Amino acid sequence: MADTEQAKDKPEQKPDSKPELRDMSSVCPKGDVLVIAEHILGDLQPVTLELLGAGRILADKMDRKLLCLVMGHELGDIPERLVEQGADEVYVAEHEELKYYRTLPYRRVVCDFLESLPEQPHTALLGSTTTGRDLAPRIAAHFDTGLTADTTELDIGPYEHTSKVDPSKIGLYPNCLYAIRPSFGESLKARILGPWKNPQMATTRPGVMVPLKRDTKRKGTIRKIPVNLKPDDYRLVVTELVREVAKGVKLTEADVIVSGGYGLGSPDGFDLVRELSKAFENSAVGASRKVVDLGWISYHHQVGQTGKTVRPKLYIACGISGAIQHRVGMSKSGLIIAINKDPDAPIFKFAHQGIVGDIYQIIPEMIKQFQAVQSSEGVKTVVGTH
């Protein structure tokens, strides 16, 4: 009985309470948003314009400026173009040794530039291209900061960190970069955060962000910055740049994409796909990974996780099952039409319109109908917004 009375006198055990969250604004300053531009011999890459569109949204959410750093030689009107596409301040590093991309010189320029700023950028963005995937981790390692690669969505928002693994980090972070990317075979989305140190970095897939409309009246500041390369930066020498330019319209710039998959049955099926594509203005031919791996068509045409990410006004999928790896590359198209003889094909679950049947009967009829419209109107079929 005494034991029972003693138990009553003891304070009631409560589960672990939520730790008190401190305001971490002072250790996680806002900072501006920085886009590192990419071009090839003065040809500004579309992913840079997409990053400026995404960066503009992030900067506006924090009421900060959008900065852009461009490196190269004989850049022409690229700095002005970057202002017209959304940048508030453009920093230009021009040097003959920056004409061709090389890891060490470009890394030197970026790191020197960031270290010269009175305040580190809140966010630094690069494209998930051959260049971006090489340069971004070098910068992140130099500043001992986090990097999320191959993102498909970006946002700014508050973050409550409650993990007790490192008590010094427990608190409320008012402005944190939400870097979102597919995971587990593209079946889930992972939200990755790293508010501990600026700049918070991410690379984004080409074709997933939306660029702003070009505004030739937009005003901004263009500043030249010094280039101070060191002997170690010259260890790699570029003797020649060979570019394999795909013929026709680029996938990422086409208004209409007609794609073929394994359901075509043979490489000859792409003759029909190309014929259908010709019925539209500004069109291109796409393909699934399987037919590219089989050698039916070159890699330049591949759409999907390991190919191009596209968002045309119209996407016609011919004989494509609709695996998640392909879907991630084209699901943001304005209008998706799927043609497949299998009524249970996964692509019908997310296509806006579906046609069940033999593509070798359906596509010729579609071409016939389009050609009839063209002959009566005297113009090619033009796709409007959906």
CATH code of the domain covering residue 124: 3.40.50.620
CA-CA distances (angstroms) from residue 326 to 27, 40, 118, 210, 305?
42, 28, 44, 20, 6
Neighbours of 97 (CB within 10 A): 16
Positions in the chain whose pLDDT score sits under 50: 1-8, 10-11, 13, 385-386
Q: Are residues 48 and 126 in the same domain?
A: yes
Q: How far apart are CA 298 and CA 267, in angstroms?
A: 11
Identify the domain boundary among 170, 199, 234.
234
Q: What is the pLDDT of residue 376?
A: 67
In a domain, 1, yes or no: no
Q: How far apart are CA 44 and CA 178, in angstroms?
A: 27
Candidates 250, 227, 205, 246; CA nearest to 102 is 227
Q: Are residues 229 and 121 in the same domain?
A: yes
Q: Are residues 222 and 314 in the same domain?
A: no
In a domain, 56, yes or no: yes
**Residue 283, H or E segment:** strand 283-287
Q: Are residues 255 and 215 in the same domain?
A: no
Q: Are residues 186 and 287 in the same domain?
A: no
List beta partners, residue 148: 202
In a domain, 19, yes or no: no
Q: What is the pLDDT of residue 355?
A: 95
User: pLDDT by residue (tens digit) across 329-365?
Assistant: 898 899 999 999 999 999 999 999 999 999 999 999 9
> Helices (DSSP H) in the chain: which residue ranges?
2-9, 46-62, 78-84, 103-116, 130-143, 269-277, 289-293, 324-330, 359-377
User: DSSP state, 195?
Assistant: T
What domain range is 230 assigned to? 33-234
Q: Are residues 275 and 230 in the same domain?
A: no
Q: What is the pLDDT of residue 248?
A: 59
Q: Are residues 122 and 74 in the same domain?
A: yes
Q: What is the pLDDT of residue 287?
A: 95
- In the chain, the number of structural domains is 2
User: pLDDT by residue (tens digit) across 66-85?
Assistant: 999 999 999 999 999 999 99
> How many Cα atoms sit within 13 Å of 156 on the Cβ side?
22
- Residue 373 is part of a domain; what is its CATH number? 3.40.50.1220
In a domain, 359, yes or no: yes
Q: Are residues 147 and 39 in the same domain?
A: yes
Is there a contact between 46 and 211 (Cβ–Cβ < 8 Å)? yes
Q: Are residues 259 and 227 in the same domain?
A: no
Q: How far apart are CA 140 and CA 125, in angstroms?
A: 11
Q: Are residues 104 and 199 in the same domain?
A: yes
Q: Are residues 272 and 210 in the same domain?
A: no
User: DSSP state, 2?
Assistant: H
Q: What is the pLDDT of residue 249?
A: 63
Residue whose tokens read 């006198």: 9
| DSSP one-letter string for 352-381 | SEEEES-HHHHHHHHHHHHHHHHHHHTS-B
Residue 5, judged by CB atoms within 10 A of its CB (0-12, 13-18, 19+), counts as: exposed
Q: Is the pTM of this model over 0.95?
A: no
Q: What is the pLDDT of residue 6?
A: 46
